Chains A and B, each alone.
Chain A
Amino acid sequence: MSAFLLEHGAGSDLLPQLESALGQRAARGTMLAQIAQLDRSLSAVACEAFPGRLNLPQLPARAPRLQSLGELELLRDHLIGSLCQAREALAARELERDAARELLEQMLLNPAKHRGVRISQRELGVGGCGVWSVMPRLGPMGRLMGWWRVKLSSGCPLAT
């Protein structure tokens, strides 16, 4: 009986519909997994950037709901863009810190050549709020005699 029905096309419309539904389900599952993984990667980058902040584009606020496949794709693409942006920002920050460390090395080697230069601990990527600066030894005498040294300030003054 079933062979007779199949021979005459019965059920043939159901198969593409079933395949389409299964394909949709699989596609949605893949999208959701990708979105979760991208969020984890973004979280890792945000933790690495601390105490700095990543200024990433934000999505408009809305209520939680099931999203269409198109919306999931757009969200995934948005997260990929945000992740790239975040990684670029971190890389740029690391370059700036390398430059600051290099400059500090030069200051320590030849303080007289870097009079007036100040580098904060934050620029170096080190915790705390001190500042490295080139200052004359023994005040005005040092300034006149050309005696310079690199000094690390003690940090934030007490609040008055």
Chain B
Amino acid sequence: MSDEVEAEFPGLRADWLGCACTDHRCDRGVGERLALLASRFNGRQALELRQQQVPDAYRSFSRQVGIDPDQQPTPIEQALLGRLLRGGNLPQDRISDGLLLALLETSVPVIAFDAALVSPPIKIRSAGQDQVVAGAVVEPGSLILADSQQPLCQLFSPPQPPLAAGGASDQLLLVAIIVPDVSALAADEALTIAAAAISGG
């Protein structure tokens, strides 16, 4: 099933990077960077972001897989919408802040799994008949992230416990979802920023 997806979208893949997280409290430096990024965007700039290369790639891909990005915004648009509605990027915890920082800096979505429960390689494939993902049966043919042993989550949906990285996770597996026309450099940068922000390095 992953061959079918690869044939349809040759550049679609998941990249991953392991990192440690010993302190789950918000990092002041990351909080300051998030606040600085919040002042970078007003309503017009948030709207016009969709015309930049990487956000445009995610938008086009969303359309191509049957998502209406005006109704179900892409990860970067969702983050900016949240910033506009809340009035800023409010710190939550070290992992969420690190992932948000990577997304805002590069427009590449990164998600975090508990490394103890997930075994790379991570692939994007179609769900089978009666496939259970995160405790729910998903529509056959829908795109999911999977490791070598189990389905992890639906594409562009946040991971759920127990696979999702949480307060008890010391080792994380950061996964960046790369769509066609997004460069490997952007993906590497997103993972590096997230890992540095989370591990405090």
Chain A residues packing against B (C-beta within 8 Å): 25, 28, 32, 35-36, 38-40, 43-44, 46-47, 50-51, 56, 58-59, 61-67, 71-72, 75, 79
Give chain B residues whose Cβ lies under 8 Å from the Cβ of A40. Answer: 51, 56, 60
Measured CB to CB, the nearest residue on chain B to A79 is B63
Chain B residues packing against A (C-beta within 8 Å): 4-5, 7-8, 43-44, 47-48, 50-51, 56, 59-60, 62-72, 126, 138-139, 141-143, 154-156
CA–CA, A54 to B59, complex, Å?
17
Check if A62 sits within 8 Å of B8, measured CB to CB.
no
Give chain A residues whose Cβ lies under 8 Å from the Cβ of B69. Answer: 39
Give chain A residues whose Cβ lies under 8 Å from the Cβ of B4. Answer: 66
Give chain A residues whose Cβ lies under 8 Å from the Cβ of B64. Answer: 32, 35-36, 67, 72
**B133 CB → nearest A CB, Å:** 10
Check if B71 sits within 8 Å of A58, measured CB to CB.
yes
Question: What are 10 A-B pairs with beta-carbon distances under 8 A?
Answer: A28-B8, A36-B63, A39-B60, A39-B63, A40-B56, A56-B70, A61-B68, A63-B155, A65-B141, A67-B65
Check if B71 sits within 8 Å of A46, measured CB to CB.
no
A51-B126 contact, Cβ under 8 Å, with A36-B63, A66-B65? no
CA–CA, A144 to B43, complex, Å?
47
A75-B63 contact, Cβ under 8 Å, with A65-B143, A66-B5? yes
A61-B126 contact, Cβ under 8 Å, with A43-B56, A79-B63? no
Check if A64 sits within 8 Å of B59, measured CB to CB.
no
Check if B63 sits within 8 Å of A64, measured CB to CB.
no
Give chain B residues whose Cβ lies under 8 Å from the Cβ of A25. Answer: 7
**A22 CB → nearest B CB, Å:** 12
CA–CA, A25 to B6, complex, Å?
12
- Pick from B44, B47, B60, B143: contact of A66, CB under 8 Å: B143
Check if B70 sits within 8 Å of A58, measured CB to CB.
yes
Give chain A residues whose Cβ lies under 8 Å from the Cβ of B51. Answer: 40, 43-44, 47
Check if A64 sits within 8 Å of B62, measured CB to CB.
yes
Question: Contacts A47-B47, A59-B71, A64-B155 given; 4 further ones with Cβ under 8 A?
Answer: A61-B71, A63-B139, A63-B155, A64-B67
- Most B Cβ at <10 Å: residue of A38, A40, A43, A50: A43
Check if B141 sits within 8 Å of A66, measured CB to CB.
yes
**A44 CB → nearest B CB, Å:** 7
